[in-house]
Amino acid sequence: MPRAHYVGVDMGGTSFKIAVGDAEGRVVCERRAATQSEAGPEVVLARLAAESKAALEEAGAKAPTAIGIGLPGTLDMRAGVVRYLANFPGHWRDVDVRGPLEKALGAPVHILNDVRAATLGEHMFGRGRELGAQSMVLLALGTGIGGGVVIDGKLRLGALGSAGEIGHTILDPNGPPCGCGSRGCLETFASGPALSAEGVRLVLTGQAPRLREIVEGDANRVDPRAMGEAANAGDDKVRAAIARAGTYLAQVIANLIVALHPELVVIGGGVAGLGDLLMDPIRRGVRDYVKMFPVDTVRIETSTLGDRAGAMGAIAWAMQGGMPE
């Protein structure tokens, strides 16, 4: 009997990552390629199949046992169909992912939301495994805020695979409009764009001299990374803006802790690169907010897998055989 090999794919709008894992979940090969999403679904799926085959060959594997694919959008997980991918040019709608890929690769294809994949990755192979956490919550801070919940070792999906959308926790029903159609979601206060917008305001009002220098006066270049640099270089208002985002995150995390009492909360995504500038206010806020029980029973940590979490979680999803009936 040939050795089992699982393919995990993390599909992004600009690039996708492929990892091949063995039956023990060890990653034996990783590749990355441009998505070229402007070419349309058919071309993208053909590229994905070709890159998967190349990765399997590199790993010395003949055929995959199963393939897991994390996708950033609304899915029909049971049908293997993408209902809507907002971040892809042309907005993929009702695209059958499973059919063409199962045909091309000759093995079962299981899709799931990309941040749910990252949650599973951190749980099985990252911070969750390191700390032995059976229940955990992940927040991925980027252009949006994605999330995922694991309870007693099982990824929480709900009937539609949509559970875990923590970025759309409503903090202020009268707050800024969110891309989801609601108002005042966490995403409108603590995502990368929300943070950058406040950075731009601080530059425009002369309250962030270091940030202004770093981006050479160009508002287009204001991003969380530049803001972290400016905060460390002495821009106190920028530091405070990052801390405010952390305090909003803390409120949502505190509320999840009193509802679910997970052992671990993982902060991932690009904005997590701010490190202690963000993590200290999050931890402080959670301590301030949770009075129902000793909150030192919950670890709040950055991701250990970083941008590898999605592909590794997709391997785990393939190993699990996707969504149970």
State the Cα–Cα distance between residues 53 and 176, nearest whole angstrom.
Answer: 45
What minimum distance in Å lies between the beta carbon of 58 and a second copy? Answer: 38
Q: Does 290 bind a second copy (CB under 8 A)?
A: yes
Binding string, residues 115-144; x marks residues near a second copy by CB under 8 A = --------------------x---------
State the Cα–Cα distance between residues 265 and 256, nearest whole angstrom.
Answer: 10
What minimum distance in Å lies between the beta carbon of 272 and a second copy? Answer: 19
Nearest CA among 149, 174, 155, 177 for reference residue 253: 149
Under a CB-based contact definition with an 8 Å cutoff, are residues 168 and 187 in contact?
yes
The H or E element spanning position 32 is strand 27-34
What minimum distance in Å lies between the beta carbon of 143 and a second copy? Answer: 16
Give the nearer residue to a second copy in terms of CB position, either 14 or 297: 297
The count of other CB atoms within 10 Å of the CB of residue 64 is 23
What minimum distance in Å lies between the beta carbon of 9 and a second copy? Answer: 23
Give the nearer residue to a second copy in terms of CB position, either 74 or 302: 74
Identify which range of 55-63, 115-123, 213-221, 290-298 contacts a second copy by CB under 8 A: 290-298
Q: Does 191 bind a second copy (CB under 8 A)?
A: no
Q: Which residues have CB under 8 Å from 151's CB, separation 6+? A: 135, 260, 262
For the stretch 228-244, what's the b/e string if a residue is b when 16 or more beta carbons lie within 10 angstroms of its beta carbon? bbbbeeebebbbebbbb
Q: Does 73 bind a second copy (CB under 8 A)?
A: no
Identify which range of 25-33, 160-168, 218-226, 313-321 contacts a second copy by CB under 8 A: 160-168
Under a CB-based contact definition with an 8 Å cutoff, are residues 308 and 17 in contact?
yes
Q: How many residues form the binding site for a second copy (CB under 8 A)? A: 44
What minimum distance in Å lies between the beta carbon of 160 and a second copy? Answer: 5
Q: Does 54 bind a second copy (CB under 8 A)?
A: no
State the Cα–Cα distance between residues 21 and 319, nearest whole angstrom.
Answer: 9
Footprint (CB under 8 A) of a second copy, residues 229-268: 247, 251, 254-256, 258-263
Q: Does 81 bind a second copy (CB under 8 A)?
A: no
What minimum distance in Å lies between the beta carbon of 142 and a second copy? Answer: 17
Which residue in the set 170, 197, 279, 323 belongs to the binding site for a second copy (CB under 8 A)? Answer: 170
Under a CB-based contact definition with an 8 Å cutoff, are residues 16 and 10 in contact?
yes
What minimum distance in Å lies between the beta carbon of 291 and a second copy? Answer: 4
State the Cα–Cα distance between residues 56 and 51, nearest whole angstrom.
Answer: 9
Nearest CA among 100, 112, 88 for reference residue 35: 88
Residues facing residue 69 across a β-bridge: 9, 111
What minimum distance in Å lies between the beta carbon of 136 and a second copy? Answer: 12
Give the nearer residue to a second copy in terms of CB position, either 12 or 148: 148
Under a CB-based contact definition with an 8 Å cutoff, are residues 167 and 145 in contact?
yes
DSSP for 199-229, written as a single string: HHHHHHTT--HHHHHHTTT-GGG--HHHHHH
Give the nearer residue to a second copy in terms of CB position, either 295 or 312: 295
State the Cα–Cα distance between residues 142 and 87, nearest whole angstrom.
Answer: 13
Side-chain half-sphere CA neighbours of 274 within 13 A: 34
Which residue in the set 147, 192, 313, 322 belongs to the binding site for a second copy (CB under 8 A)? Answer: 147
Q: Does 53 bind a second copy (CB under 8 A)?
A: no
Using CB under 8 A, list all residues that contact a second copy: 74, 135, 147, 149, 151-152, 154, 156-160, 162-166, 168-170, 173, 178, 180-182, 247, 251, 254-256, 258-263, 288-294, 297
